[in-house]
Structure 1
Amino acid sequence: MPQLSYTEENVIQAMLDVTDNGLSQNQAAQKNGVPQTTLSDRLRGLPSRSEITQPAQLLSKSQESRLVTWILRQEALGYAPSHSQVRATVAALLRQQGRERHIGVHWLARFIKRHPNIETKVGKRQEAARFNSFTPMAVNWYFGIRESEYGWIKPENTVNVDEGGIMAGFGLDSLVIGSSDPRRKAFLKGSQSRTWTTFIEAVTADGRLLKPGIIFKGKELQQQWFIDEFRKIADWYYITS
């Protein structure tokens, strides 16, 4: 029995099995999981369902494909577009073509569903200078220098330091559209100045944990606010910058 779900590739292969491989329509339909009526219609030259409905769609297949390419390129450049930006882009394209059509409330969700290589995710804001500096050339240069200049250092004297922090004021992360690849994070460039409370932690290559440090922005550390309370949790370093 033909499967309930089939693709255009299944239909094309079934047509080739009839025209080139000598199978009957029934055999080709069964082999490729395509309804025989669909196969018969296509062999008689009738258009596919997607070709029939495409004129009623907001964008053509080629336009949607180009829109996906633009979204992925913008993400790679550090400007992953938000939902409103994608809708504005589509509206501008329609105006350019002289087609003043309403973009439905659910159009974008359906567009994303039609293209599994994109999805909605949280874009992480990064300063533009930091984003632009992280290039393959810079990474290769770093590891080349590390091996040639510091490869002789013993594991117990090799320390990996990680820096994190909390930004004071308003948050700038937002929902954007980007690649559905879980290995790709959507980082957004930003030029705004930010005040950070910084956390520094370190571990040596042989597994020793070093005492973490917290750096507050300011001239003086207001010890009466937090030091005693924090030291009950962990014996960390607290300084200002």
Structure 2
Amino acid sequence: MPPIRNNSAYTRENQEGRLLLAIQALENNKVLTVRHAASIFEVPESTLRTRRRGVTERATTRANSYKLTESEEKSLENWIISMDDRGVAPRHELVRDMANLLLSQRDQAPPQVVGKNWVTNYIKRTPELDSRYSRRRDYQRALYEDPKLIQQWFNLVKKVICTNGIHQDDIYNFDETGFAMGLCSTAKVVTRTGYYGRRAKIQPGNREWVTAIEAISAGGWALPPMIIFKSKTYNAAWFSSQVDYPHNWPIEISDNGWTTNEIGLRWLQNHFIPLTTSRTKGKWRLLILDGHGSYMTAQFD
């Protein structure tokens, strides 16, 4: 048995139809006054005046409770799909951060933020999106044992390059590498006779980790690396004239000597963009990176 629609739905649709006829009659000068048109088409005069001012029916109007506008939600949807195409589908927290970033662009003090369940509700009302668990997979296994995955990645890179007409010299790859200060290397040593094989060399127990962020273009030009030390404050001795290091290498600090969200963003804004802008040959630059958490932020993307 088909569902029974209540009378209010029929009444609302019927009234909306009569309101449209009344507006058309007024615009075509078939009826001279709003009061007369409301009487002829049996619609409330106040509602007819409201419709003529461009106010739409409440049932078809987007609720005021939505934090983002329709265009903002569409932009967010396109960004999520773009991230998914790149093989780094964003987590709920990252989607929430991007939504808050969109809200922060408005001139409101304090800026609005979305709620704890906003992402879940947003996905439910967006047919093109879905939420599912990602599959954990070892990176090296995917790299060396799955040719299809490798080919898909190269196809994606080729598609991006061809679609945007990116010049070879405007393609950059960057990554970070770490090393322990004071790490012993293999070397020839002098020891007493009677030992066979290689002598063990004791590693110092207080090694500190240092990270370098490096980038190079497909044309072979390399950016100066950014060096990240483990420290809470900058050491004046690092910048002494007696220290022999290239002064175009920016120095950052973090609690553990690793990169952070803030450092990654500063590398992009204060290092990569200024150094590559004058060298750009086309309209777009392509920056290829891995899925490290420091770069998978709303601000970096």
Do the structures match in fold with TM over 0.5? no
The structure richer in strand per residue is 1
Q: TM-score, normalised by structure 2?
A: 0.32
